Structure 1
Amino acid sequence: MKNLVTISIVAAILLFSQYNQLKAQNMIEKNPKVSNFPVGDKLPEMYSKYFIGQAYLAPLTKNKDLNCPISNVTFEPGCRNNWHSHTGGQILVVVGGKGYYQAKGEAARLLLPGDVVEISANVVHWHGAGPDSWFSHLAIETNPQNSKNTWLEAVDDEQYKKATDASKSDPINLTNAAIKNHEELWPGYISKIAKTDPELIQIFDNWAFGEVISDGNIDTKTRVIMIMGSTIAQGALTEYKMFVNGALNVGVTPVEIKEILYQSVAYVGVAKVIDFINAANEIFTEHGIALPLKGQSTTNRETRFEKGLALQKDIFGEVIDKMYEQAPKNQLHIQKYLSANCFGDYQTRTGLDTKTRELLTFSMLISMGGTESQVKGHILGNVKVGNDKETLLSVTTQLLPYIGYPRTLNALKFLNEVIPE
């Protein structure tokens, strides 16, 4: 009997321990990547007692001889520090999320990535996250040789609410999901348009990075690849450059970025794509990525037609034979180009798998407009390689903010015609 009791107690302890480990792991996973800087550890008690809510500290500098301590401080939503002052002053550089700063006797100031707060010596103030957003800033100690913190009373709920209620008239008021998804791609990015057209950014970002992303079953990397293909098809160079930088942040490889460009030549034309290639090369150079990249070709002049035709037939079946049979003699060379060039030179390359390439082609075609028969053909091609209707619908949904409603509705029409509900 005693053995059974002992076993039961040990089992209960193990289960409790596993529960706490899982709970701790879940808490870690729920902490979003607010910026490119490390989040660090929970504040030690000597500091946390002056905070309402949870904050994290990551010291960034080690060389004391430089006399310039810098730390990244991350606040969970609703977290703020007490009123306090520094005899040596302080500089805050906002690197992620949305927060607030308020000096005693002044209105609260909204803080967004890129904002800098210069706090003079002995100015009583507080700073922290918005009620619905994580927040991260670099804290730079000025005059550290003679600086001392004086901690005062807490910023109570009424004071905090009054300060953050000003967010009703803030330049932008984004949802948690919109901030998190945007920061995943562009940590700490400062939007110029957010300052000149705040209403548009509030509407668009809450929709495109909040609502739209939640309606789909494709991962971030696939979504970004499809959007890059779409921007090329539309000739949207500025947005493309944004997404190349975002792509590198979420694990899209330089080879994959290049393969999107190379494949788009067959569908969009090199006259449009060349500017995008130059833009990607500039971004690669900025990131220290050596060019040229390793080649991905699997064919040569002798094998390109044979291998391209074989891939066409694998994807589209007997319709390819019919295309050759029905092509007028003076147009047969176009069919041969499709086999040798479009498929043999591009689609057989490594770097992207066949499923991704077919999905990418679908994305480019629905973004271009005026490609009804090609869209329908590649819907069937996608199904053949394993991309079902749900996947195609998810991609169409994710492209909606970038291609608009008319082309999206056309894509849905074609999708429902080829694969009825």
Structure 2
Amino acid sequence: MAPRRAVKLSLKKPTCAVCVAGVETLVDIHSDVPKGAKNFDVSGSSKLDIFVAYDSTRVTEPAGKAPWPLDTSVEVIVSADKASKDLNDLKVKVAYFGEEGGEALGRSVLLLTCVDVSLDVDTDRVGKVRRSGRDKKTWRWGPEGYGAILLVNCDKDSDNSMGPDLQNSQLMSLEDLQDMSPMVLSCDGPDEVFHSHRLVLKAPWPDSRRVRVFCALGGDSLSDYKQVLGPQRRSYEVERQPGQRQVPFYVEGLAFPDAEFPGLVSLSVSLMDTGVRTAWGLGGGRGTLPEAPLFTDTVAFRVAPWIMTPNTQPPLELYVCSVVDAHGSNKKFLDDMARLALKASCKLVICPRVDNRNDRWIQDEMEFGYIEAPHKSFPVVFDSPRNRGLRDFPYKKILGPDFGYVTREILYAGPSGLDSFGNLDVSPPVAVGGREYPLGRILVGDCFPK
């Protein structure tokens, strides 16, 4: 639950404030109290929930309609569950009384306008955005877990793209939206509130390098999707239109989890009060206070890891290389593989010499896996850093629509034998020490010691 915001009352004039649906607001009944007041009474609009919190060791709840004692431990808390239709349409009234009761010594009025501000993602992992009662700021593994999942947008959906889609700061294809996780900002309430308040979408600095967010402006053209967050932009003032109740966004991952990145990222939206506020300094000077968020809502994503496909799965495609060495061409081998592929009902892909530069070790060059989220999954080829004759084949020939690409380069050192993917494999599903590994365990190794 969001922290409570305190609103001070005044005996001289009504206080106007904004509250957020579902968020408690503390009414400061002690900020301006008439002389001699010992008790108070509170009432309000039927659409408001009003309750009094108190320390039972110091205060006894009054019977019937008797007023509450004006003890410092007594607090008045209000909340609303729906957005207001009009400005200041919710009212809280506080009356102050002396010790003997009688006529009120003073009255305060609080006029509230409720707005519905909520940032929502597929927290329940059902493939679509819906409001959830779960904690959106946390992420938990497992069948009973929760939290949205983000895909690294590493395929290439448009022929106009020079590389994987994640390299593009602009949307190159509407199909690319299917690879992104949807996110919806609810922003319901009177338009006048949003004239004096800003909605600001933010990403923490480390996370802004690993995600990119597009805002749907309405329409079906590529220009109707605007990049609003990413490596070069950490915040965005939401351009809410009059009467608009929801703003849709699409989020893409830019980096896979690895040793330096556990995969968790977060985004938040804040409702900022833009009204001019002043403060007096110690020297008597007057200055403007910085904007303060009235409310902040945060959602968490976990970037889906690259999952290696076990070799126990039925084959879909078989990749082989056409080469020539001192013994001639390997045509017989290719013919044998063609018959084997036909028998296994899988597609045979022959990499010609122009693409392999006489490098036959295609299993050392690449490994296949996939990424998966509730709304989408697709295969991803992992390109080895061995960088021999086949170094460009995965990028140029396999990367494409709904077929992603990822690689890792070794900084400050050359690749070793363990970086050849013939030495990389994954087991079938296995249990070890009482722990289940439904996706198997990755195995990496070299030849036996001599």
Structure with more of its chain in strand, by fraction:
2
Structure with more of its chain in helix, by fraction:
1
TM, length-normalised to structure 2: 0.26
- Pair member with larger Rg: 2
TM, length-normalised to structure 1: 0.27
